[in-house]
Amino acid sequence: MHLRALHLLHQTTRGAFRRGLATAAPEAALKGPTGVVLLNMGGPSTLPEVHDFLYRLFADEDLMPLGKYQPTLAKFIAWRRTPKIAHHYAEIGGGSPIRKWSEYQAEEMCKILDRIAPATAPHVPYVAFRYAAPLTDDTFVKMQQDGIKRAVAFTQYPQYSCSTTGSSFNELAKIAERLDPEEEMKWSLIDRWPTHPGLAKAFAQNIQKTLDTYDPEVRDKVILLFSAHSLPMSVINRGDPYPQEVGSTVQAVMAQLGFRNPYRLVWQSQVGPVPWLGAQTADTVKSLVARGEKNMIIVPIAFTSDHIETLHELDLEIIGETGEPGIKRAESLNGSPVFIEALADIVKTHLQQDVVSSPQYQLRCPMCTSENCKTSRAHFLKQT
């Protein structure tokens, strides 16, 4: 994912599924194959993909509404930003590892699901990205070719935001309307999972592993900075639930750690003159260092794998520039077995509950005026 570039400008019977309510469906109706699609914004795997990635990002009106000239502006911004962003990707190995990790997580999760949820097996893994290959429409066509009739769209953003999960669901609804007008493929949505015990445990394990690298005399005094991508206050003020959900993840993780260490939730990647949710990660680190704090662990709490915002922004820009060996980053979830087991448990529970989405998804942001958000919910939650 490269939301940062954004800031440089600004589901079992047919009837029951369509109602989006829990139902006691017969086991035969649940039989697979079941496609499980991990949704994310994605990132360019190679340097030549950077331009198209940026163009798709800036052209997304759900992410940044730029008015009727958006396609033209998107082309200009992508052209202008590509050299700098490509250089950043070159500095982290020539591309984002998010596709590699997403495909690995999907495959390993489905192996576990086939064992623990035989009623809906086989489970077929897919990855669908918003702005980079494999794009959502290409994945949708592949699922049709594979004969998938039951599908779960599983956001890989544990905490819901209209700008991430919401945008991905809006795109999926548009593609489904266009490529599957008869609704032969039945979808349900896992739209958030911020306090799942397995998620909290996986984060806590990685934090503890990093804490164990400090001298025991200072270990409990190491400051934990949970860093998440910020949002403009205009998005927050319309009722986006992202901040409270990120906070709930932090609390769940700290409970796993026994609240031994001092901690704060901070926000990264905000750029530009408009108000953003703070405090900013970079400013927080600088301020703490100026006060004499030399031992900190930055925890990317809203990301489920490495990408440019962990490998470049956190590692190279924020941590690297301090020159302090006591300032470190907790490993991203990536291939964590505990995390992948959590993914499988979330999908298993979702399939057993037989719902289309969480009640929270069915409630739009109180001040939302987006037609895309309205029509995508109408698509997934429509009545018979």
**Residues with a known catalytic role:** 196, 345
Contact 241, 360 (CB under 8 A): yes
Q: What angle do CA 283, 287, 293 make, to 5 degrees?
A: 130
Strand order in the sheet with 123-129: 123-129, 34-40, 150-155, 186-190
Show Cβ contacts of residue 252 under 8 Å, excluding neighbours closer than 6 positions.
194, 195, 197, 199, 200
Alpha helices by DSSP H, listed for 146-257, are 167-179, 197-211, 216-219, 233-237, 242-256
Chain mean position to CA 375: 22
Helix axes 98-116, 337-353, angle to 10 degrees: 60
Q: Considering only CA atoms, which of 259, 256, 282, 274 is closest in space to residue 203?
A: 256
Contact 101, 334 (CB under 8 A): yes
Single-letter amino acid code for the residue at 169: F
Q: What is the DSSP string of 47-98?
A: GGGHHHHHHHHHT-TTT----TTHHHHHHHHHHHHHHHHHHHHHHTTSS-SH
Q: Considering only CA atoms, which of 165, 153, 120, 108 is closest in space to residue 337?
A: 108
Token pair recorded at residue 52: 């198209």
Show Cβ contacts of residue 306 under 8 Å, excluding neighbours closer than 6 positions.
97, 98, 101, 332, 334
Strand order in the sheet with 223-229: 263-268, 223-229, 296-300, 327-329
Is residue 6 classed as helix, strand or coil in its secondary structure? Answer: helix
The Cα 64–Cα 67 span in angstroms is 9
Single-letter amino acid code for the residue at 233: M
Q: Considering only CA atoms, which of 275, 242, 240, 274 is closest in space to residue 370?
A: 240
Whats the size of the chain, residue-wise? 384
